[in-house]
Structure 1
Amino acid sequence: MSMTSDPHVPRARSPWWFNLLGRLLEPWVRIKREPSEPASLLNSQTAVCYAIERDGVSDALILERACREAGMPSPMQILNLPGRRRRSVFSLSRRQGWLFGRTDSRGPKEPIGQLIQALEDAPERDIQVVPVSIYVGRAPNRESGWFSVLFAENWIVVGRFRRMLALLLNGRDTVVHFSPPVSLRSVLGESHGLTPERLTRKIARVLRTHFRRIRAAVIGPDLSHKRTVVDSVLNAEPVRAAIAATAARENIPLTKAARRARDFALEIAADYSHPVVRSTSFLLSNFWNKLYDGIAMHHFDKARAAAPGHEVVYVPCHRSHADYLLLSYQLHQSGVVPPHIAAGVNLNLPVIGPILRRGGAFFLRRSFKGNAMYSVVFNEYLAQLVDRGVPLEYFIEGGRSRTGRLLAPRAGMLVMTVRAFLRAPRRPVLFQPVYIGYEKLMEGKSYAGELSGKPKEKESLLGLVRGLKVLRQRYGHVTLNFGEPIELNPLLDAAAPDWRGVGGDPDAKPEWLNSVVDDLAERILININRAADVNPINLLALALLATPKHAMAENDLLAQLDLMKAMMVELPYSDRVTVTPMNPAGIIAYGEQMGWIRRVRHPLGDVLVAEGEQATLLSYFRNNVLHLNASAAWVATCFLNNRRMSRSSVLRLGRIIYPFIQGELFLPWNDEGFGQQLHETIDFFVRRGILESNGEGRLLERGPGQDDGAYQLRVIARSMLQAFERYYIAIAALVKNGPHTLTAAELENACTLTAQRLSLLNELSAPEFFDKALFRGFIQKLREARIVWTDDDGKLDFDAVLEDMVRDARVILAREIRHSILKITPGGENDRDLDARPPTDPGATSTSDSLHERHVAAERERHS
């Protein structure tokens, strides 16, 4: 039934041969409409005319069937136009030739001109033009053959014979994309006096741009051959200047310097191939089915909705070599073009390197230092990709996390991306954080070995072949959560309202650039964490690793899992965090099935235990979600050595510790927000009966040590206790040695050695406990808070408030732990005297207010 009552549109009557061809084609074609109900886009009182990208009987047949199935007006109905009668469809290009295809010089000017003339002759009339994109064989699945890939949709205008083969091979994967209609009457009203000829050309140009944008979003950008891209890079002014400078500096011929630049460009550049991407896609389907029990994506629809019109840069966390392939594979399967991926040159291996390159990988060296020409060539190549609108992907952590935590950002790629945008800000840049969560890692054992001191094994083809043994194991489920995207323009507007004046200078590096990039990097990592997925293995790791022997009675473990899951649901970290739907009993059964935990039968109740190497590897999955537990762990820690505490003391001490855990775990709150989170966490514990609130909520009290609530608090506290112990190691080492004694590097080394020895003495199974990078980050936070600084001789000096922090640690850390740390930590001061000093009253304001004021001042200065 027609959806229009326009009297100028008679009933559709298709030629007999057209109907016959439609019946012959029907068994070979299965249509997916986007959106699924396109009829809702139309104005039922207005005539409809469809615009398609390419001319051809097959496209007309597909369009007619898609409209019929959607209850929309037929494209074969006749429009009464001045001078002639024509169908309600026109194309932007005409396909000629039977094999290769070529476009006719006649474009859409004649039908568009007729439509405009019709409206000028009948002022009461309107026509809505609906752009329709048709793709045959966009994404062959794993059952598809190689020929299906060869004849999949691409940017080339093919002949009738190739189109017929594409329909026979890939017709069951046909996508018909209906865009919102455009009112020609509105366009005519906004033409501002343009002649019909100029208005016709303008409408045709807008439609071509629209179709190119939709096609780029669905099958990828129209990338020229690698040689063409390389030529564009080498002809760019910055690269030509670098070639001339190199030739002059090294006294070599200009041609030799140019050859070197070309070699650099060829080493870097991707050689994107749609057939390779599509064939790799269905090959990977088998690979993933052998490795994983399922791959889930959450919040992808939000990411897809934010992407149009932007240069999209995917910035996932980096946990495994599988990250590269997983994200690209899932994007491709979801109908989004896979990004070009920045990969380390160490992955440019024989056989593997060319495949990755044709899949969109471009390679960069670990360091650009000492090679100015390479740096210029790489920057120019990245600028070319940004300018062409090619989606990108890179990992701002710089490498795979060996601990499960997010690593401190390395902002090199961010700087280059921002500078590339500043040169030619044609398309706004959107950074899309992605959280990738695993239940078991292929590299788990090697990570634990590296953290224990073993050298990192260099990537090689032989190592890859040896690594194929991973196919014998199962690795559970994988989750990709898309975080809240970050637009670059608002950050630039806030930092420098006149940033557009930087212009096309490729060497421009305004003074505000570093602060913008630092802010951007921090926001990306925060938003990755705000999109975490809590899987069963994360919850088991949080619970079992908090016990001395990594063992827990089944009833206790069930109660602990129920508490932690309830806490994450009732106190949501963000609206993008996802939590496993499994109940506690299902979580335990799944952990046993995956081989992470073992059940020990006992007449008084079974015990679940994580043993030896498994316990060490589980620390990785605990660290994935440690940030979700931060506020609860702090509240619980306050009651490890205290039966009672005032709510104000918990909050006040939290203000002291927050800048450090915020920097380590990339938490999203400011000081006020963290305080509110602590309030809500305390209220949750009170509702659950784990804490008791007295004195109108001012005084908090836990049960006796043997109480179930006290036990649950201890388990929650111990998930973060090692972080607080590391902080104590660092400040104790500084205070023991005194001011003007240690350099920052010497302090890092002393802290690492102390933590390693403490780990041996206490059988700690968390390798990150003595990770030097975490000590370095803590010391940097002390500097930012102006508690520690470097003197003229490069030695560390510190404020007296640091000694107050050592004494205040008595409120949180047990005497045994403090004495162990003080005994092991190298230093000149008497250990007993240091710990014997009276602690500052936890309820007093001097220490906490002083630290808080310093932190606030430092934050203001950093953002000013």
Structure 2
Amino acid sequence: MRSDKAESPALVKNMNGFRDILEKRRHTSDVLWITREWNPVRTVSDATATNPLSIRKAVLNSARLKETIKELCEERGVKPEVLYKEVEDQLSEIGHNRQISIVRWIGLLVTKVLKKTCSNLMVNEEAISKLKANMGNTPIIFAPSHRSYADFILMAYICFHYSIEIPCVAAGVDFMAMWLMGHLLRDCCAFFMRRQFSGDKLYYTVFSEYVRALICQGTAPVEFFIEGTRSRSAKSLVPKYGFLSMALEPFLTGQIPDVMIVPINISYDRILEEKLFAYELLGVPKPKESTSGLLKALNALDEKYGKIYADFGEPISMREFLESQMFERARHSVGPIHLQPLTDEEMAMIRVLSHHIVRSQQQISVLSPFHLVAVILNNNLLTHGTFEMQLSDLIREVAWFRSVIETFGATVDISGDVEKSVREALHVHKSLITLLPDGAVQLKAVHLPGTRIDTSRLKGHALLDDTMSRAVPLLMLQHYVNPALHFLANPALVTTVMQHLEPSGEILRDDLFARYQFVRGILAHEFVLHKSWEEKEFEEALRVLDLVNIVEVTTSGLLSLGNHRKLQVLLCNVLHPFFAGYLALSQTLAQVCGEARPEKLVMCEAQRRVEMALKSGEVSHPAALSLDGLSCGLQALVSLGAIYRIRRGDEVLYVANLKELEVVTKHLETFVALHGMDHKWSWQKLELHQSLPAKL
């Protein structure tokens, strides 16, 4: 990296605003703290706490519900009393409760668990103080990232710690079926929503009116996960718009003057579900939520999980956001509000907003030392065909990569001694990574040979046991690579394009942008890349690539690659598994989708093709097997016009547009070529450590 451009102080963030809120809990009485007088800050300061019964009454008395019941009575030929009974049942299913005594006791349990399993719970206290100072006059929506089931609990715990009213959080109805746990979540302000309800007009009306009442009449923040579900890969998911549109409708229709949305990121040094997620990505379905399953999972609490980071982003005022978008909301001023659905223009604005929220979550994420360790080990595999590295080499590479990714805008929790940080990270992840007596760092085998898997429930191809043995730990490691990719994706896309220039190695800026646009379109769903931001993000990528000497301007005004070969290789390598999976998918579609084929058949065949390519050495990373990645590939190919999606009843089918598909496939074949590996990849010779780790 060139010394004259290595540092960009405006980009390098730090951890100064963060505070470990577990520190005092380790030295004072948990019981006295949890039973303290608690007077929380509310979204509306001069009102009493949200009364769940008043919310139910508001729904029952809403004009929209009455109109819907009137319509359905005519359609179904039933009396209103029948439908109101159905509404009461739905409200009993949906409705939250607020039992502060339950909140306190769960808070005590959570404190004990966190102190046992986590070294620190780091919260950006400066951001919290700023948020509290602005609370009291405007409804607030919390929009946290979703990486673990622990997100629910941590949000409530942080709010209790800082005396903020416990949020009313939207939870999947699956949790209701869990004996005891469903009741406890409800008593801690969870309200429940079905996974699918677009075809049920009555339920949709009841639920949307419940959300409207929480926004307009509630005094607690409303919390929801904009990604819709936990990200099994630790990358951001393409945002869902349904709940957000419900929550914003009161503002867009003029019922309230403003609403504040707070993007929140919760980052984990290590997550509880790391192994479960690896199996899910390979097609093994998750166990059904149950209390017994939760109790079994408690065995994992004997292990250490390092640090957790929570950061609250800059609140988004919807009134100011609309002004910045030059959007007019006076269109609902004529006629009854409850009869006016949101317009296409409003839904388009909500889509832009949802991507803005996800981007804000990414920008305030924190990378732990192990995230950097994972990137370096992964790069070593793709460059040299092995994970094994000497600890001294790993420490040196982490120190180098830290300077790179901070230049790209990431916040990295390494202060002072890099060696100490790396050793602590390896200790936290000793179930996945081992340090041998000779100082070598090696990946461990975590999949037991002969593990019984119910093939009838598989979502993909039945992978061989030998494949599973290598793929599971590699996907677990990839889980910790992925959070860094939000900062690397755009620079990596530009670098990948420039690696494949003509012999002259030079290109016009506009030509580079055109090629970047195409490749970006292929990975747009993988990294949640919004179309309208592509030019701005291209310019930002060029700026940081200039800082690290990957892109240079020639004397003739053209762009060419600089001499930072080491970083060029790493940036191309981080995208390799995604291009490899997409290539297998494209080849599968060309082969089997001359006629409409069901999605599961396509996914199974694509996984089978990747498995064969891993054995032959054509593909060098099992992340290409990920069903989430293949699903993103399908969405991208639909967007590019390379395939067509057809829905027949509940079944989704795909048909190939062979001409366009061939264009995409040729590009992918080029990008899959490895950079820096000068030998034949051998999947079978990849060694995993089988014994216990050395003491760190």
TM-score, length-scaled by structure 1 = 0.62
Q: How far is 1:808 from its partner?
A: 4.6
Q: Which of 143, 146, 162 is 2:29 aligned to?
A: 143
Unaligned runs of 5+ in 1: 1-138, 155-213, 704-708, 818-864
Query: Contact between 1:619 and 1:765, CA under 8 Å: does it hold in 2?
Result: no
Q: How far is 1:487 from its partner?
A: 3.0
Whether 2:238 is the aligned partner of 1:404: answer no
Q: How far is 1:753 from its partner?
A: 4.0
Q: Which amino acid aligns with 1:374?
A: Y
Partner secondary structure for residue 342 of structure 1: strand
Could you say which residue in structure 2 is the equivalent of 1:659? 521
Partner secondary structure for residue 236 of structure 2: coil
Could you say which residue in structure 2 is the equivalent of 1:855? none
Q: Aligned partners of 1:322 and 1:765: how far apart in 2? A: 33
Whether 2:506 is the aligned partner of 1:646: answer yes
Query: Contact between 1:734 and 1:747, CA under 8 Å: does it hold in 2?
Result: yes
Q: Deviation per CA, 1:382-435: give whole Å up to 9, x if none.
A: 111111143111112221111111222222211211224345532412221111
Could you say which residue in structure 2 is the equivalent of 1:64? none
Q: Deviation per CA, 1:528-578: give whole Å up to 9, x if none.
A: 1121211111111111122132223444423421232111222326xxx45
Alignment of 1:513-662 (within 5 A): 513-546=346-379, 547=381, 548-572=385-409, 577-581=411-415, 583-594=417-428, 595=430, 596-602=432-438, 606-613=439-446, 614-634=473-493, 636-637=495-496, 645-646=505-506, 648=508, 653-662=515-524
Query: Contact between 1:496 and 1:512, CA under 8 Å: does it hold in 2?
Result: no
Q: Which of 92, 99, 119 is 1:293 aligned to?
A: 119
Deviates more, 1:326-335 or 1:651-660: 651-660
Deviates more, 1:563-572 or 1:432-441: 563-572
Q: Aligned partners of 2:615 and 2:189: how far apart in 1? A: 45
Q: How far is 1:296 from its partner?
A: 0.9
Q: How many residues align?
A: 603
Query: Contact between 2:576 and 2:674, CA under 8 Å: does it hold in 1?
Result: no
Q: 1:641 to 1:411 in 2, by over 3 A?
A: closer
Whether 2:271 is the aligned partner of 1:271: answer no
Q: Aligned partners of 2:424 and 2:603: how far apart in 1? A: 40
Unaligned runs of 5+ in 2: 1-24, 447-472, 677-696
Partner secondary structure for residue 288 of structure 2: coil
Q: Aligned partners of 1:785 and 1:350: how far apart in 2? A: 46
Could you say which residue in structure 2 is the equivalent of 1:21? none
Q: Which amino acid aligns with 2:318?
A: L
Q: Which amino acid aligns with 1:352?
A: M
Could you say which residue in structure 2 is the equivalent of 1:337? 165
Alignment of 1:152-163 (within 5 A): 152-153=37-38
Could you say which residue in structure 2 is the equivalent of 1:670? 533
Q: How far is 1:696 from its partner?
A: 6.7
Alignment of 1:325-724 (within 5 A): 325-348=153-176, 349-389=178-218, 390-423=220-253, 425-492=255-322, 494-501=326-333, 504-509=336-341, 510-546=343-379, 547=381, 548-572=385-409, 577-581=411-415, 583-594=417-428, 595=430, 596-602=432-438, 606-613=439-446, 614-634=473-493, 636-637=495-496, 645-646=505-506, 648=508, 653-667=515-529, 670-686=533-549, 698=558, 700=560, 710-724=565-579
Whether 2:58 is the aligned partner of 1:232: answer yes
Q: Which amino acid aligns with 2:349?
A: V
Q: How far is 1:300 from its partner?
A: 3.2
Q: 1:240 to 1:683 in 2, by over 3 A?
A: closer
Q: Aligned partners of 1:484 and 1:454: how far apart in 2? A: 38
Partner secondary structure for residue 454 of structure 1: coil
Q: Aligned partners of 1:607 and 1:220: how far apart in 2? A: 62
Partner secondary structure for residue 663 of structure 1: coil
Q: How far is 1:277 from its partner?
A: 2.8
Q: 1:290 to 1:514 in 2, by over 3 A?
A: same
Q: How far is 1:437 from its partner?
A: 0.8
Partner secondary structure for residue 261 of structure 1: helix
Partner secondary structure for residue 389 of structure 2: strand
Q: Aligned partners of 1:288 and 1:816: how far apart in 2? A: 43
Q: Aligned partners of 1:246 and 1:692: how far apart in 2? A: 66
Q: How far is 1:813 from its partner?
A: 3.3
Q: 1:639 to 1:562 in 2, by over 3 A?
A: farther
Q: Aligned partners of 2:76 and 2:633: how far apart in 1? A: 44
Q: Aligned partners of 2:38 and 2:562: how far apart in 1? A: 65
Q: Aligned partners of 1:283 and 1:810: how far apart in 2? A: 53
Query: Contact between 2:95 and 2:192, CA under 8 Å: does it hold in 1?
Result: yes
Q: How far is 1:730 from its partner?
A: 4.4
Q: Which amino acid aligns with 1:666?
A: V
Query: Contact between 2:590 and 2:656, CA under 8 Å: does it hold in 1?
Result: no
Q: 1:788 to 1:256 in 2, by over 3 A?
A: closer
Deviates more, 1:260-269 or 1:305-314: 305-314
Could you say which residue in structure 2 is the equivalent of 1:96? none
Query: Contact between 1:616 and 1:765, CA under 8 Å: does it hold in 2?
Result: no
Q: Deviation per CA, 1:121-150: give whole Å up to 9, x if none.
A: xxxxxxxxxxxxxxxxxx9x983658984x
Alignment of 1:171-250 (within 5 A): 216-217=42-43, 222-223=48-49, 225-246=51-72, 249-250=75-76
Q: How far is 1:295 from its partner?
A: 0.8
Q: 1:757 to 1:499 in 2, by over 3 A?
A: farther
Q: 1:251 to 1:303 in 2, by over 3 A?
A: same
TM-score, length-scaled by structure 2 = 0.76
Q: How far is 1:664 from its partner?
A: 2.1
Q: How far is 1:368 from its partner?
A: 1.6
Partner secondary structure for residue 327 of structure 1: helix
Q: 1:638 to 1:644 in 2, by over 3 A?
A: farther
Q: Which amino acid aligns with 2:337?
A: D
Q: 1:569 to 1:492 in 2, by over 3 A?
A: closer
Partner secondary structure for residue 526 of structure 2: helix
Q: Aligned partners of 1:425 and 1:652: how far apart in 2? A: 44
Structure with greater contact order relative to length (CA < 8 Å, sep ≥ 6): 2
Q: Aligned partners of 1:761 and 1:268: how far apart in 2? A: 52
Query: Contact between 2:493 and 2:520, CA under 8 Å: does it hold in 1?
Result: no
Q: How far is 1:617 from its partner?
A: 1.2
Q: How far is 1:448 from its partner?
A: 1.5
Query: Contact between 2:144 and 2:361, CA under 8 Å: does it hold in 1?
Result: yes
RMSD, aligned CA: 3.8
Query: Quick one: percent identity of the two aligned structures?
Result: 21
Q: Which amino acid aligns with 2:351?
A: D
Query: Contact between 2:408 and 2:488, CA under 8 Å: does it hold in 1?
Result: no
Q: Which amino acid aligns with 1:537?
A: F
